[in-house]
Copies of this chain bind each other. A is one copy, B any other.
Amino acid sequence: MLAEIKGINEECGVFGIWGHEKAAELTYYGLHSMQHRGQEGAGVVVSDGKNLKAHKEMGLVNDVFKHADFSALSGSVAVGHVRYSTQGGKVLENVQPLLFRSQTESMALAHNGNIMNAYKLRGELEAEGSILQTSSDSEVLAHLIKRSGNKITEETISKALNQVVGAYAYIILKEDKMFVALDPTGIRPLSIGRLGDAYVVASETCAFGQIGATFEREVLPGELITISNDGLSSIRFAMRQQRKMCAMEYVYLSRPDSDVNHVNVHASRKNMGMELAKESPVEADIVVGVPDSSISAAIGYAEESGLPYEMGIIKNRYVGRTFIQPSQELREQGVKMKLSPVRSIIEGKRVIMIDDSIVRGTTSKRIVQMLKQAGAKEVHVRIASPSIQNPCYYGIDMSTRAELIAANHSVPEISNIIGADSVAYLSEAGLEKAVLKDKTIHQGICTACMTGKYPVKEEGEKEIAYTSC
């Protein structure tokens, strides 16, 4: 299913590189491979050891960087960011990396996640006379660091990190040092790679593949890494650490070729499809996946069930920002947008339609209807993850509980609403088995949006008034 239709919005991606003379260009390629994590804006801040220079714009990575003058962005260290698109807070000031200059030293900051107590912290800072320049939760950390001694060091950053509550992956750059921090629960992914002698940091490992770098290790929950000309050093800034990787990274958010916490995303999705076939088989003729994110699960389902996988739904590759939306009238007359059914494949068949998740149900309804109009005899919807019933406070911009169809309806009701012949979800156990299958060491995933088990809590978490990333 499609992000823009579904109402799940990705949560930014961060990228950093230390020690390569083409730092800005490699940041472009790294961000490009993480374009799916944010389409609103992108940017890079580069350091030549003495000065920080920024290039940031609204728009897709290609659009942003076609205006970049790489010769002016010289320097062997860079940090980059892609930002997702929501209605509010869609302004250039919020595009990261945020850059703060001063007469003594400057600081750039790139963030993925959500600071749950940002509103409270911000009020305190303003009462003391500080002026904040963005409406993003990410900026609060910079002021906390500055207030902790007007120096940017491991100590002031640790002190500041201990004041923020939430899920976050941070890269902080000053003229001669890069700092990398992950929250104590490790909800958001963040990895370290190597490209020759250079260090690379990225939200997803697909960025390493993109630039020819190799995976080195995951950043650990509660870890603060310092990279400088003296190499890499690390401390743990938090008392307790326990990894709870966001399950949605596997289900939907990450790119299939990324390994999230040592697990390949495509493989985990194929596993989800296989587990789903075991849990909820159904007599049918063909298995069809909703492109792009459900293809892996559909192939897994087909393989496990022995049914043929067919390309029964086509995604139009050229539908993008500039696509002219058909009017209501034309849509009713049958004009398609992003997805089209393939009549000669669907007609007369009993179809198992695999999707990765259902949020509001409106798109599922449309696809089921589309398949039936193309002649499907039956449509059995199989969802390769447990149903989503709760909001996320850790950085995913999901619909509110009132909009979540599974928070308000039983499975048979959902089947009825979307017009399917049957609906089944993968179980929580099935999801864990699919994701953690090959792992010998124990570790957990955060399934709060499915199960309501929130690993991080903050009183007054409703106050979230700022744009998260």
A459 at the interface (CB under 8 A from B): no
Query: Looking at the complex, which one of B131, B303, B342 makes contact with A100 (CB distance below 8 Å)?
Result: B131
A135 within 8 A of B: yes
CB pair B102–A126 under 8 Å, yes or no, is yes
**What B residues does A206 contact at CB under 8 A?**
314, 340
Is there a chain B Cβ closer than 8 Å to A74's Cβ? Answer: no
Task: Report the separation of the CA atoms of residues A26 and B331 in the bound assembly, to the nearest whole angstrom.
Answer: 11
* A61 at interface, CB cutoff 8 A: yes
Which label, helix, strand, loop or mixed, suits the secondary structure of the A interface?
Answer: mixed
The answer on a CB contact under 8 Å between A146 and B129 is yes
A133, B130: Cβ atoms closer than 8 Å: no
CB distance from A279 to the nearest CB of B (A): 20
The answer to whether A238 has its CB under 8 Å from any CB of chain B is no
Residues in B neighbouring A131, C-beta threshold 8 A:
100, 102, 130-133, 142-143, 146
Copies in the complex: 4
- Closest Cβ of chain B: how far from A21's Cβ, in Å? 10
Q: Is the CB of B25 within 8 A of A330?
A: yes
Cβ contact within 8 Å between B22 and A330: yes
The answer to whether A308 has its CB under 8 Å from any CB of chain B is yes
Q: Do A150 and B132 touch across chains, with their CB atoms under 8 A apart?
A: no
A126 touches B103 (CB 8 A): yes
The answer to whether residues A340 and B101 also contact, given A22-B330, A324-B66, A345-B264 and a CB cut-off of 8 A, is no
A113 to chain B, nearest CB (A): 21
Say if the beta carbon of A223 comes within 8 Å of chain B: no
Cβ of A360 under 8 Å from chain B: no
CA distance A22 to B210 in the complex (A): 44
CB proximity of A61 to chain B, nearest CB, Å: 7
If A33-B340, A257-B342, A342-B266 touch, whether A309 touches B299 (CB-CB below 8 Å) is: yes
Top 4 closest pairs, chain A to chain B, by CB: A212-B334, A62-B322, A264-B344, A257-B342
A47 in the interface, Cβ–Cβ < 8 Å?
no
Pairwise interchain contact A266-B311, C-beta atoms closer than 8 A? yes
A296 at the interface (CB under 8 A from B): yes
Whether the pair A344, B259 counts as a contact (CB closer than 8 A) is: yes
A146 vs B129: C-alpha distance when bound (angstroms): 5
A211–B335 touching, CB < 8 Å: yes
Is B314 touching A317 in the complex (CB atoms < 8 A)? no
Are A336 and B210 in contact (CB-based, < 8 A)? yes
Specify the chain B residue showing the minimal Cβ separation from A263. B344
Q: Tell me which of B150, B319, B330 contacts A126 (CB under 8 A).
A: B150
A322 to B123, CA, bound (A): 42
Question: Do the beta carbons of A63 and B150 come within 8 Å of each other?
Answer: no
Give chain B nearest CB distance to A117 CB in angstroms.
14
Give Cα A89–Cα B158 distance, bound, in whole angstroms. 33
Q: Which of A326-349 contact B (CB under 8 A)?
A: 326-327, 329-330, 333-336, 340-345
B129 with A267: CB separation less than 8 A: no
Question: Which residues of chain A in 109-153 are interfacial with respect to chain B, using CB atoms and an 8 Å cutoff?
Answer: 119, 122-123, 126-133, 135, 142-143, 146-147, 150
CA distance A264 to B256 in the complex (A): 28
